[in-house]
Chains A and B, each alone.
Chain A
Amino acid sequence: MSGARNPPRAPGTRLDARGLLCPLPVIRTQDKIRTLKSGEVLEVVATDPGVLHDIPAWCRVHGHRLLMSEQRNDGFRFHIEVA
């Protein structure tokens, strides 16, 4: 996934949700994003495979833009631009 409208932005904040099982990574993401401003980018790293569905779904229902998602050795990584 890549940002087609604007160049991808580097995340300014990182959330480590590794070891948490869903829905806790989504809840922590939601709580963190509440502290950020529109346009800021959050990086989330999580290990529960459930996030592959839940974080994109949560972004869609709230209108946040999922800039990137990938699987790495330390878990699943997402970049989310705050709506």
Chain B
Amino acid sequence: MEMHDKKANLPRRAAALISGGLDSMLAAKVVLDQGVDVEGVNFFTGFCVEGHTHAIRKKDRSRQKRNNALWVAEQLGIKLHIVDVIDEYKDIVLNPKHGYGANLNPCLDCKIFMVNKALTQDVLDRGFDFVITGEVIGQRPKSQRADTMPVIARESGAGDRLLRPLCALNLPPTLPEREGWVDRDKLFGFHGRDRKPQMALAESFGFSDYAQPAGGCCFLTDERYAGKLADLWQSRGVRDYDFDDIMLLKVGRHIRPAPHYKLIVGREEGENNFLSGYRWRFVYLDTVSHTGPLTLVDGEPTDADLVLAARIAARYSQGRSASEVSVNVHHPSGARRELRVAPLLPTELEPAWHVGG
């Protein structure tokens, strides 16, 4: 790739993968400070923990709603391109060449995909000379290991145009270093899971308010979420999903009393409001006599199943201790009927029905 060799007076251009976390922020800053023209790229896979989930649950609405990747871009003074890869990403999730991590997280394939996408961003007017990531050897058991670093570089197509400023001193010099686009002496040799070097570097830059997501930034690393996705595939007999599927897995209690249907029970007002947006697609239940959840029914329930579904919905309503609760059953066609049911007793709710544990 020969993009700017004839424009020796122009700064080299780098695409920085920006997740919104500290490491990618530091990596971009280290290179930015060397006079490189850095732009951020952030990928929206549909499994991102940020964004959507803040908007759904009422209890989360008091939280800061900032998009951390945008916030990082502002702090660094760089542009940020947020790229919708929901459709393309399906192949990564469904067919990861390098397999999954502890759950359904295809971390190695994901990183290869993102580096490749960043390098070949066709939405930008100009190409990039190299790609920056915040990877640190030994930090992630699946994708950030000494033996996976060259795999990512090779299979992404970036080769030695992939620079990891935070651990570069533990790796062979890359093209940007050999060509003098960046000064290797000003890069770092971080390794392992210890966060202190990053925190010290952040402090040296004056960064104090950075995101530290405890559970990572991807739902696929979450055991319960992965369990729900695996259940979805098993119940449908096909490993596939659409955007609504993966959104709904983030919301509510998922209860499967039988293989042919499951319930998604809103846990609070925000989730009920969100689930109500899917009324056109599912049979849904709402409690009439008592305040209660909105419950979607995914699958092909029989009339008897809907009675059990109503009893479960009643069990999560304010009428859980009442002898009888009125529940409306709505069909996507607009048809509606009222059931009067006894709320399910806690002992009748089989633990195995709870999808994802």
Contact = CB atoms under 8 A, between A and B. Distances in A.
A19 to B, nearest CB: 7
A57 B67 contact: yes
B315 to A, nearest CB: 29
Contacts of B52: 21-22
Contact of B55 (A21, A30, A31, A62): A21
B32 interface: no
A58 interface: yes
Interface of B: 44, 48, 50-52, 54-56, 61, 65-67, 70-71, 73-74, 78-84, 123, 277
A19 B244 CA distance: 12
A53 interface: yes
Contact of B70 (A31, A49, A57): A57
Interface SS, B side: mixed
A52 B67 CA distance: 11
Contacts of A23: 44, 48, 50-51, 67, 82
Given A22-B51, A23-B51, A30-B81, A58 B65 contact: no
Nearest to A48: B55
Given A23-B44, A24-B84, A27-B44, A57 B51 contact: no
For chain A, which range describes its interface: under 10, 10 to 19, 20 to 34, or 35 or more residues? Answer: 20 to 34
A22 B79 CA distance: 18
B241 to A, nearest CB: 17
Nearest to B274: A21
Nearest to B54: A50
* Residue of B78, B83, B84 most packed against chain A (CB within 10 A): B84
